[in-house]
Amino acid sequence: MALIKKTQPAPKQAPDRSMMITGDITRAYLDSILVEERLIGAELADIRTVIFGREYSSPVMMPAFSHLPSYAEGRYTGLVEYSIAAKELNILNWIGMSDNETYGTIALTGADTVRIIKPYADHTKILDRIAFAEAHDAVAVGMDIDHTFGRNGGYDVVIGEQMGPQSKDDLKEYIASTKLPFIIKGVLSLRDAAACAELGVGGIVVSHHHGSMPYALPPLMILPEIVKELEGTGIEIFADCGMDTGSDVFKAVALGAKAVSVGRAMLPALQEGGTEGVKAKITQMNNELIRMLSFTGFRTPGEADATVLWKDGKPMA
């Protein structure tokens, strides 16, 4: 009797719960920070914010998303729709992984945009994308170094593109190749913050990329220490991950962030309402931020500090 080899379907890969847990940890930390009121003499706050020498209507920024589709027939891609929203709201736009043609389309919206480039193994691709962004009037360029490693014990592969390690010498080359501020996204330690200062970057994003590494520190937990580490360097410090409300943004700026990117919180509004949906969501967050600043006696986001924040029954500053 001949043996018949039956083809078995490949086993399904278990969902990566660690990413969900990281998000839950970040959300729990945000919610654990409480805020005191300071109302005597308080006035309505003004949330205009200067980033890299340019004035914007708010410290709320768009996220460095990549590869968003068109959500309905006849609509632009999600990347274009939220870039138009950024332009109309006068806030800073960010774009993630994209080829030059896609970035050129984003540039046509007229939004002030930061281009974040993946840590490609092919460094010529990085330099090419930096040069293209500069030629198309980007505000800044940068790299999300937290996308170097994948989930299968190797360097990440993103949409067929191989990622690779980035040494200090590599980063120095990218920084030297452009007149634009260079941003390192994915800083979550004093060690990397100090290295960024040594490299002469223009900005950093305190971020865990929504859980690229399991059980990562919530960005706002380490943000105050990073702010102290970089004091006097002139490096602009941003934050993201789990920012859902204007109250979250308030806590981030009070702990030292210049501005905050909002990603997954705006996705439902983007999917359902496109540009107008995003504008409504960001406007709501702006109004919440104005309320929080006003209730705590701060007139601007730049004035806010941690003296109004409490955690575990104790002042944070």
pLDDT of residue 5: 39
pLDDT of residue 18: 64
177 part of a folded domain: yes
DSSP state of 264: G
The structure tokens 């939004």 sit at 111
214 part of a folded domain: yes
* Residue 170 token pair: 């590599």
184, 177 Cβ separation under 8 angstroms: no
Give percent helix, percent strand, percent coil of the chain, each to the nearest 5: 40, 20, 40
Rounded to 5 degrees, what are φ and ψ at 206? -80, 110
Bridge partners, 259 (sequence order):
238
Residues of the chain with pLDDT under 50: 1-11
pLDDT of residue 135: 98
* Residue 2 token pair: 């001949």
Q: Is 155 exposed, middle or buried (0-12, 13-18, 19+ CB in 10 A)?
A: middle
Query: For the whole model, what pTM was predicted?
Result: 0.93
What span, in angstroms and rounded, lies between the C-alpha atoms of 166 and 194? 16
Catalytic residues: 209
97 part of a folded domain: yes
115 part of a folded domain: yes
74 is in which domain, residue-wise? 32-315
- Residues in the chain, overall count: 317
The structure tokens 């390690």 sit at 165
Q: Give Cα separations from 211 to 90, 108, 265 (angstroms).
A: 29, 32, 15
59 part of a folded domain: yes
27 part of a folded domain: no
16 part of a folded domain: no
pLDDT of residue 16: 59
Residue type, 55: E
* Residue 179 token pair: 């007149």
- What's 103's domain CATH number? 3.20.20.70
8 part of a folded domain: no
Non-local (6+) Cβ contacts of 273 within 8 A are 280
In this structure, how many other beta carbons lie within 10 angstroms of the beta carbon of residue 71?
A: 17
Give the chain's domain count.
1
What span, in angstroms and rounded, lies between the C-alpha atoms of 260 and 167? 27
